[in-house]
Structure 1
Amino acid sequence: MRAEEIVFPTEAGLYCAPGGFHVDPLRPVPHALVTHGHSDHARPGHGTVTATRQTLEIMAIRHGEDFADSRRIAEGPMRIGGVTVSFHPAGHVLGSAQVLIAPDQGPRILISGDYCRSPNPVCQPFEPVACDVFVTEATFGLPVFRHPDPLAEMARLIASMAEFPDRPHLVGAYALGKAQRVIALARAAGHDRPIAIHGALKRLCDYHVEQGIALGPLVPATEPGDAQLILAPPSAFASPWVQRFRDPVLAYASGWMAVRARARQRRIELPLVISDHADWPQLTATIRELSPQEVWITHGAEDGLLRWCEIEGIPARPLRLVGYEDEAE
Structure 2
Amino acid sequence: MRADDFLHPTPAGLYCPQGDFFIDPVRPVPRALITHGHGDHARAGHGAVLATRQTLEIMAIRYGEGFAGTTQAAEGPVTIGGVGVSFHPAGHVLGSAQIRLAPEGGPVIVVSGDYCRTPNPVCAPWEPVPCDVFVTEATFGLPVFKHPDPAAETRRLLASMAEFPDRAHLVGAYALGKAQRVIALVRQAGHDGPIHLHGAVQRLTDYHVEQGIALGDLRPATVPKEIEGQLVIAPPSAFASPWVQRFRDPVISFASGWMAVRARARQRGVELPLVISDHVDWPQLTQTLTELRPDEVWVTHGAEEGLVRWCELNQLRARPLRLVGYEEDEE
> Aligned letter for 1:243?
Q
Where does residue 306 of structure 1 map in the other structure? 308
> Aligned letter for 2:70?
S
> Aligned letter for 1:22?
F
Q: State the Cα deviation string for residues 264-322 of structure 1 (Å, max 9, x = none).
A: 00000000000000000000000111110110002110011001001001000001101
Which one is further off, 224-233 or 147-156? 224-233
Aligned-pair identity (%): 74
Q: State the Cα deviation string for residues 34-60 of structure 1 (Å, max 9, x = none).
A: 000000000000000000000000000
Where does residue 288 of structure 1 map in the other structure? 290
Q: Secondary structure at the match of 1:49?
A: strand
Where does residue 64 of structure 1 map in the other structure? 64
In 2, Cα distance between equivalents of 1:30 and 1:244: 45
In 2, Cα distance between equivalents of 1:76 and 1:193: 40
Where does residue 153 of structure 2 map in the other structure? 153
In 2, Cα distance between equivalents of 1:283 and 1:96: 17
How far the C-alpha of 1:244 sits from its partner, in A, is: 1.1
- Contact 2:98–2:113 under 8 Å retained in 1: yes
* Aligned-residue CA RMSD (Å): 0.9
> Aligned letter for 1:149?
D
- Contact 2:258–2:330 under 8 Å retained in 1: no
Match of 2:236 among 212, 226, 234: 234
In 1, Cα distance between equivalents of 2:223 and 2:216: 17
Write out aligned runs for 1:173-188 (5 A). Answer: 173-188=173-188
Where does residue 10 of structure 1 map in the other structure? 10
Q: Secondary structure at the match of 1:126?
A: coil
In 1, Cα distance between equivalents of 2:238 and 2:203: 17
- Contact 2:39–2:328 under 8 Å retained in 1: no
In 2, Cα distance between equivalents of 1:327 and 1:95: 18
Where does residue 131 of structure 1 map in the other structure? 131
* Runs of 4+ off more than 3 Å: 223-227
Q: Secondary structure at the match of 1:297?
A: strand
- Normalising by structure 1, we get a TM-score of 0.99
In 2, Cα distance between equivalents of 1:34 and 1:109: 15
> Aligned letter for 1:269?
E
Where does residue 263 of structure 1 map in the other structure? 265
Write out aligned runs for 1:94-109 (5 A). Answer: 94-109=94-109
Q: Which runs of 5+ in 1 are unaligned?
A: none
In 1, Cα distance between equivalents of 2:69 and 2:133: 31
Where does residue 112 of structure 1 map in the other structure? 112
How far the C-alpha of 1:328 sits from its partner, in A, is: 4.7
- Contact 2:14–2:22 under 8 Å retained in 1: yes
- Contact 1:176–1:328 under 8 Å retained in 2: no
- Contact 1:178–1:328 under 8 Å retained in 2: no
Q: Secondary structure at the match of 1:114?
A: coil
In 1, Cα distance between equivalents of 2:122 and 2:48: 27
Q: Secondary structure at the match of 1:304?
A: helix
In 2, Cα distance between equivalents of 1:14 and 1:79: 18
- Contact 2:139–2:302 under 8 Å retained in 1: yes
In 2, Cα distance between equivalents of 1:237 and 1:27: 29
Q: Secondary structure at the match of 2:291?
A: helix
In 2, Cα distance between equivalents of 1:20 and 1:185: 41
How far the C-alpha of 1:217 sits from its partner, in A, is: 0.5
Q: Secondary structure at the match of 1:161?
A: helix
In 1, Cα distance between equivalents of 2:222 and 2:328: 29
- Contact 2:201–2:235 under 8 Å retained in 1: yes
Q: Secondary structure at the match of 2:143?
A: coil
Write out aligned runs for 1:205-284 (5 A). Answer: 205-223=205-223, 225-226=226-227, 228-284=230-286
How far the C-alpha of 1:260 sits from its partner, in A, is: 0.3
Q: Which runs of 5+ in 2 are unaligned?
A: none
> Aligned letter for 2:179?
A
- Contact 2:111–2:135 under 8 Å retained in 1: yes
> Aligned letter for 1:27?
R
- Contact 1:172–1:234 under 8 Å retained in 2: yes
- Contact 2:301–2:327 under 8 Å retained in 1: no
> Aligned letter for 2:268?
R
In 2, Cα distance between equivalents of 1:240 and 1:2: 54
Q: State the Cα deviation string for residues 169-212 of structure 1 (Å, max 9, x = none).
A: 00000100000000000000011000000001110000000000
In 2, Cα distance between equivalents of 1:76 and 1:239: 44
In 1, Cα distance between equivalents of 2:154 and 2:314: 35
How far the C-alpha of 1:82 sits from its partner, in A, is: 1.6
In 2, Cα distance between equivalents of 1:214 and 1:326: 29
How many pairs does the alignment contain?
A: 329
Q: State the Cα deviation string for residues 64-108 of structure 1 (Å, max 9, x = none).
A: 001000001111110011200000000000000000000121210
How far the C-alpha of 1:223 sits from its partner, in A, is: 3.4
Match of 1:319 among 308, 311, 321: 321
Q: Secondary structure at the match of 2:155?
A: helix
- Contact 2:99–2:110 under 8 Å retained in 1: yes
Where does residue 140 of structure 2 map in the other structure? 140
> Aligned letter for 2:10?
T
